[in-house]
Amino acid sequence: MTLQEKIAAFDHLGQWLRRHEFQPDSTEYASLNEVIRQAFHQNGWFTEDEVIHALRYWAKVLTEQEISKWTGEYGINKTTPQRVGLILAGNIPLVGLHDIFCVLLSGHRAIIKHSSSDPVLTGELLRQLMIIEPRFSDFIKVVDGQMKDIDAIIATGSNNSARHFEDYFGHLPKIIRKNRTSVALLKGSENQDELHGLCEDAFRYFGLGCRNVTKIFVPRGYDLNAIFQASLPFEYLMANKKFANNYTYYKTLLMMEQRNILENGLVLLVEDDRLYSPVSVLNYEFYDSMNDAEKRIEEQRDSIQCVVGSIDVPFGSAQNPSLNTFADGVDTLSFLVSLGGK
């Protein structure tokens, strides 16, 4: 397949997803709708609303114009296909698609190990892609056990699993991703729309993604009630049993630790210098000058995926990255283009 033929197939997949938004009950989408139901049955974080949000994202970016603009920067030519192992994350719906699409567009074979947290959604979209372009079936293989007979690896996991990946795949060209999270830097002059966007960045996908904000830096004296006010549209999250249980558990735990917490029945605000916070909790840290805050962020850059606000991405857009935004700042497509001979 030529690159243009691949792009055309991805564009058709995007069209198929866009039609779903307007006619979701059509018989054409019976299998996708069943998979959406299965996904929630297998993973209580994958509610229909969150899965649909992920599908809409891919429907938006999978266009011939967007993909051509993206891939045109790399001068992708015909290469000797390499077998690229992909150990996918499953913290949010369809999070591994970007890696898969990078492998396919660069001309390699994707040897895929799905996360146990997301075993069906990604598979359904790949099935549809192979219906659109059957030749992709020679470039997509799903495996269950150990990753063997591969030429390169892209693996995403925890810090502990990353150490295992480094040892096991040390002899291969590789990208190994560890734990990361995202933060927000507030100036104190944000309007209500921007604060609502901040809450979108914090609570979309229940806060489980590496691009979700788990820590906010605010000027000393900032009125945190503004965050509570902006969070009200997300009260529906408490209808999810897993989220509600997390809220109750961490509220109890923090009270037992005699921590000072602010809460509004949806989010627990805790003054804490750590980047990571659990589901339903948002850490905050006061700063005395913008320079101090930026220095604190820079000191922890290796653990930060993106900074919401004025540094990396605008409020409300953390979960809508462009196609040329790569996890951990490592250019996956450039890595793949470098594999194999011409």
pLDDT tens string 194-221: 999 999 999 999 999 999 999 999 999 9
- Whether the CB-CB separation of 243 and 313 falls below 8 Å is answered with no
Task: Round the average pLDDT of the chain to a whole number and report it.
Answer: 95
Tokens of 230: 């902006």
Tokens of 198: 């901040």
- Whether the CB-CB separation of 198 and 184 falls below 8 Å is answered with yes
* DSSP letter, residue 92: S
Largest CA distance in the chain: 63
Residue-range domain boundaries for the chain: 3-177+325-337, 181-308
Per-residue pLDDT at 146: 86
Query: Pick from 230, 212, 220: which is nearest to 188 by CA?
Result: 220
Per-residue pLDDT at 10: 98
d(CA 230, CA 193): 8
- The span from the first CA to the last CA of the chain, in angstroms, equals 15
Tokens of 303: 């653990």
Tens-place pLDDT, residues 254-292: 999 999 999 999 999 999 999 999 999 999 999 999 999
The one-letter amino acid at 192: Q
d(CA 51, CA 230): 23
Query: Pick from 261, 255, 301: which is nearest to 282 by CA?
Result: 261
Mean pLDDT of 242-255: 97
Write down the number of H helices and E strands in the chain.
12, 11
Mean pLDDT of 83-110: 97
CB burial of residue 130 (10 Å; 0-12, 13-18, 19+)? middle
d(CA 136, CA 87): 19
Helices (H), the chain: 3-22, 30-42, 48-61, 64-71, 97-105, 121-132, 159-168, 192-203, 225-231, 241-256, 290-299, 332-337
Query: Pick from 169, 161, 101: which is nearest to 332 by CA?
Result: 101
Per-residue pLDDT at 341: 52
- Whether the CB-CB separation of 327 and 305 falls below 8 Å is answered with yes
d(CA 144, CA 28): 29
- Whether the CB-CB separation of 246 and 253 falls below 8 Å is answered with no
pLDDT beyond 90 at 75: no
Q: What are phi and psi of 253, to 5 degrees?
A: -60, -45
Chosen CATH of 181-308 out of 3.40.50.970, 3.40.50.720, 3.40.50.2300, 3.40.309.10: 3.40.309.10
Tens-place pLDDT, residues 128-170: 999 999 999 999 999 998 888 999 999 998 888 889 999 989 8
d(CA 205, CA 167): 32
d(CA 83, CA 140): 10
At the top level of CATH, the class of 3-177+325-337 is alpha beta
- Whether the CB-CB separation of 177 and 166 falls below 8 Å is answered with no
d(CA 293, CA 288): 8
Per-residue pLDDT at 342: 45
Report the DSSP beta bridge partners of residue 286.
218
Query: Pick from 106, 109, 17: which is nearest to 58 by CA?
Result: 17
Beta strands 261-263 and 268-271 are antiparallel
Provide the pLDDT confidence category of residue 314 given band limits of 50, 70 and 90.
Answer: very high
Provide the pLDDT confidence category of residue 340 given band limits of 50, 70 and 90.
Answer: low
Mean pLDDT of 69-83: 89
d(CA 338, CA 342): 10
